[in-house]
Amino acid sequence: MGNHFTPTCLVPTVSPTVSGQALAPSGIRLDVTIMIRDPLPNGYFIGPTVRGLLGYAVKRASCVTDHGECARCLLRSACAYPLIFAHEAGEGPKGAGRLTAPEYSVMVDPPGAFDGLRHIRFTIWLFGNAARWMPQVIDGILRSESSGFGSSGASFTLLEVRSGSTVVWSRSAPAALLNPIPIPLVTRTGPVGQTLRIRMITPLELQPSAKTPGMSLVFALILSARRRWRVMCEVSGSAPPQEDRIEDAQFQVLDHRTVLWTGHRRSVSEGTAMPLQGVLGEMIIAGPWERAGDWLRALDAIAVGRHTNFGMGRLQWDVPG
């Protein structure tokens, strides 16, 4: 099998518990380094490419059917691919084949950050039940080396997978695989402050609200982040977050430097291109941030807004000096 190893199903990872109740959401962090044969084009955003690689890799490592269609496969409840990327939204004709949000995040660098570089690094977070299939993720990436990276099919080599400072897999010991320890998603402690600088590291796209037309970008961001955090608590078996009531008018943008980014996600298998767009830059915002929610302390692991599975919506914050 060369550099491949035999994937095994890991015991599901959970957060520390008290009386059976998880204290806080956690996940498996995989910091992946690959080397591609040719440099990426100027301004290239690797988020959709990483998502495409991840999906192709896991399906290649897991699927044993000829048709390859999850919706009509009798093995879908025991297969890594549908459990990582999607599950059935409902039963019957209306829900048949419809897939919903996955239990993972893709964290990448900003568009154009890889100009002229051949070593590419990105982070994959696996949450909830998806964490048990970590071996299939790594094995699938290994099996996909000859298939190429991106729509151009540039061949690549997987060099190393880490979880923080821990080496999970390396080229020097290709048959060995370490089971990483789940990492709590809440990584920041201490007071938040009344004024924050929010940086959009990768494009942020928010779904307009039909219920509250005219909602500010800041408040839409907060509500989207709260929804994402509720999902993280649910898949980790944690208690639902306690959310204070806040109002749009309580938050004020003091300064901003933002640009609109546009791009697309190309599907080689489907022969289609989906337009993408989002805001890049930073905003300085005053408001009751200590009441915004615990999601603010977990932005190293979760993304916000639309198309987060393509690496969009990666945010960072600090207190401006």
Tell me the pLDDT band of 260, cut-offs 50, 70 and 90. Answer: very high
When computed from its CA atoms, the radius of gyration of the chain, rounded to whole angstroms, is 20
Question: What was the pLDDT predicted at 197?
Answer: 96
pLDDT over 60 (residue 12): no
pLDDT over 80 (residue 90): no
> What is the mean predicted confidence (pLDDT) over 83-89?
57
Tell me the pLDDT band of 177, cut-offs 50, 70 and 90. Answer: very high
pLDDT over 90 (residue 166): yes
> Which residues sit opposite 22 in a β-bridge?
17, 238
Question: What was the pLDDT predicted at 32?
Answer: 94
pLDDT over 80 (residue 257): yes
Q: Lowest-pLDDT range, 3-12, 26-35, 185-194, 270-279?
A: 3-12
More confident residue, 60 or 284: 284
Question: What was the pLDDT predicted at 88?
Answer: 35
pLDDT over 80 (residue 145): yes
Question: What was the pLDDT predicted at 33?
Answer: 93
More confident residue, 248 or 188: 248
Helix residue spans in 86-163 (DSSP H): 92-95, 134-143
> What is the mean predicted confidence (pLDDT) over 265-276?
74
pLDDT over 80 (residue 320): yes
Question: What was the pLDDT predicted at 19?
Answer: 39
CA distances from 216 to 46, 226, 236 (A): 29, 16, 31
Asked if 156 and 56 touch (Cβ cutoff 8 Å), the reply is no
> Which residues sit opposite 156 in a β-bridge?
36
Q: Lowest-pLDDT range, 47-56, 57-66, 91-100, 232-241?
A: 91-100
Question: What was the pLDDT predicted at 224?
Answer: 92
Output DSSP code: residue 220. H
Question: What was the pLDDT predicted at 102?
Answer: 56
Q: Mind listing the pLDDT tens digit for each residue in 92-124?
A: 333 333 334 457 888 998 877 665 568 889 999
What span, in angstroms and rounded, lies between the C-alpha atoms of 133 and 83? 9
Asked if 300 and 186 touch (Cβ cutoff 8 Å), the reply is no
pLDDT over 90 (residue 272): no
Query: The pTM is what?
Result: 0.82
pLDDT over 90 (residue 278): yes
> What is the mean predicted confidence (pLDDT) over 274-290?
94
What span, in angstroms and rounded, lies between the C-alpha atoms of 243 and 164? 30
Length of the chain: 321
Tell me the pLDDT band of 69, cut-offs 50, 70 and 90. Answer: confident
> What is the mean predicted confidence (pLDDT) over 241-263?
93
> What is the mean predicted confidence (pLDDT) over 1-8?
47
> What is the mean predicted confidence (pLDDT) over 14-18?
40
Question: What was the pLDDT predicted at 13?
Answer: 43
Question: What was the pLDDT predicted at 24?
Answer: 74
Nearest of 217, 186, 195, 206 to residue 296 by alpha carbon: 186
Question: What was the pLDDT predicted at 116?
Answer: 59
> What is the mean predicted confidence (pLDDT) over 152-180?
90
More confident residue, 50 or 1: 50
> What is the mean predicted confidence (pLDDT) over 180-201?
89
- Where is 266: in which H helix or E strand? strand 252-267
250 Cβ neighbours under 8 A, 6+ residues apart: 287, 288
